[in-house]
Amino acid sequence: MMSLCRKVVPASRGLASLTSVRTKVTLPELGYDYAALEPIISREIMEIHHSKHHQAYVTNYNAAKDQLDEAVAKCDTNKIISLQGALRFNGGGHLNHSIFWKNLSSTNSSPSDALQKAIITNFKSLDNLKTEMKTAAVGVQGSGWAWLGLNKKTGHLQVVQCANQDPLQATTGLTPLFGIDVWEHAYYLQYKNLRPSYVDAIWDIVNWKDVSERFSA
Ligand SMILES: [Fe+2]
């Protein structure tokens, strides 16, 4: 049977380019105690969210990535395509939560002058931004995220919903600044069915220093 695949080795790199480097993502440290965000988010939620849910995305992404490396090496196109869902879901889960932990802090902070100016330009006021984020977060059907993102081409800030674990940058091109995780695992143990109350409360633990640094970067 004729092969549908052939290996093209750049002359400048030779066989070294065929060597697969198996890289793994790892669970990042929170940088604060599980109880640090109480009473807004309980220690129990934080511990399960970080050590169980985020860890599962890390584990499952690495497993899918290993399978992808093997499929690429074998030029198994069907297998490569079949892995896209697992890579998107678990890779997105890892990316989203890695930002989310840094977006939160028990230390009071304020948006930088530059971010404050951008918020006023795009939303008229911080309260309007909060209202837009709340509408997006509460309106997510099922599980997902509300994001404040930066359109680097236009310089505009945008509020966007992402379903499931779709990562903002890879799926919309926007740079993620601040995300609100509205999967039930993020709030249900404490807020039960009151997602709007969780979304209102989270503004008290926004790490504006981190959000501002993402904006200026
Ligand atoms: Fe989550």
Query: Does residue 52 register a pLDDT over 80?
Result: yes
Buried b (16+ CB within 10 A) or exposed e, 3-40: eeeeeeeeeeeeeeeeeeeeeebebeebeeebebbbeb
How many Å lie between the centroid of ligand 1 and the Cα of residue 6?
41
How many Å lie between the centroid of ligand 1 and the Cα of residue 164?
10
Provide mean pLDDT across the span 111-125: 98
Query: Does residue 6 register a pLDDT over 90?
Result: no
How many Å lie between the centroid of ligand 1 and the Cα of residue 151?
24
How many Å lie between the centroid of ligand 1 and the Cα of residue 96?
8
* Percentage of the chain modeled with pLDDT above 70: 91
Distances (CA, A) of 143 to 15, 88, 195, 210, 211: 45, 15, 11, 25, 23
| Predicted pLDDT at 23 | 87
Q: Write the pLDDT tens digit of every residue in 155-189.
A: 999 999 999 999 999 999 999 999 999 999 999 99
Q: Residue ranges for the binding site for Mn(2+)?
A: 49, 97, 181, 185
Distances (CA, A) of 172 to 78, 162, 169, 203: 26, 9, 5, 24
The string of DSSP codes covering 68-126 is HHHHHHTT-HHHHHHTHHHHHHHHHHHHHHHHHHHHB-SS-----HHHHHHHHHHHSSH
The alpha carbons of the chain give a radius of gyration, in whole angstroms, of 20
How many Å lie between the centroid of ligand 1 and the Cα of residue 162?
13
Provide mean pLDDT across the span 19-42: 91
How many Å lie between the centroid of ligand 1 and the Cα of residue 101?
10
| Predicted pLDDT at 4 | 65
Q: Residue ranges for the binding site?
A: 49, 97, 181, 185
Q: Write the pLDDT tens digit of every residue in 59-77.
A: 999 999 999 999 999 999 9
Q: What are the domain boundaries of the chain?
A: 113-216
How many Å lie between the centroid of ligand 1 and the Cα of residue 10?
42
Q: Is 92 left (phi over 0), alpha (psi -120 to 50) or beta?
A: alpha
140: amino acid identity, one letter? V
Query: CATH assignment of 113-216?
Result: 3.55.40.20
Average pLDDT of the residues of the chain: 93
